[in-house]
A and B are shown apart, each in its own frame.
Chain A
């Protein structure tokens, strides 16, 4: 009898505690059509004028267009923070845009003889390898997730500069050959983390403005 009483009391206390606790905040859904992704997408607009400048041999114009493309890469992160519209899709979209813009630009400058072909081939191959491993990582995690790597952030920024060095004809051979081993070491390091190490848990969903 006493045991049944204490069990009933515990159940009643648990129910009361559950009713008193505030409900969990609803999951905030960020639309993919947000200002940050618009800035990211706008980077594609600079590829046709960049190609025009390279094809016609205008080094300074080509440098300007790739510089704007690189600056917009930084601006989209700032816009995402200002408008509070960060999302997993936005991070992936940003990474994909980096790959397309800088990959296209690197191939173009190599095709027109502004950059050495062998390091560019190595860089493109390593970039494709890294993208494939990111897809494996997302599959291992079971969700759309961008792999966070401090070293790769720096390597991607250097990639943008590489295109600028080619368009400006600024110590091109030196910068390209220095870059290849740095990128290879970074991808070797990230490969271990993406394929072998444990995956951190998914971050908690963002609460809406009113719930903060």
Chain B
């Protein structure tokens, strides 16, 4: 076990697809979650916590996708 697992190109695309896929899915998932709770009672601390968590999740998803695009010099 003295060599790496795959060529550098394959490895970079594996990490890109994994990161971009998870981040993109995460973004969509939390956008849907946020839409679902938009009419819930905002005075409930649990609802407020969920909304905040979904917004953080959306930002993380955006950052993940943006990082992939930056890595491949798209943006």
Contacts and interface: CB of A to CB of B under 8 A. Distances in A.
Interface string A157-198: 110010011001011001100110010011001000100010
Contacts of B68: 171
How big is the B interface, by class?
20 to 34
Contact of B52 (A59, A148, A150, A158): A150
Interface of A: 58-61, 63-64, 148-155, 157-158, 161, 164-165, 168, 170-171, 174-175, 178-179, 182, 185-186, 189, 193, 197
Of B6, B30, B45, B71, the most chain A CB neighbours within 10 A belong to: B71
A161 B64 CA distance: 10
Contacts of A58: 4
Interface in B1-20: 1, 4-6, 11-12, 15-16, 19
A150 B68 CA distance: 25
B54 A175 contact: no
Contacts of B54: 150
Contacts of B49: 148-151, 193
Specify which of A168, A185, A186 lies most central, judged by the most chain B CB atoms within 10 Å of its CB: A168
Contacts of B15: 63, 164, 168, 170
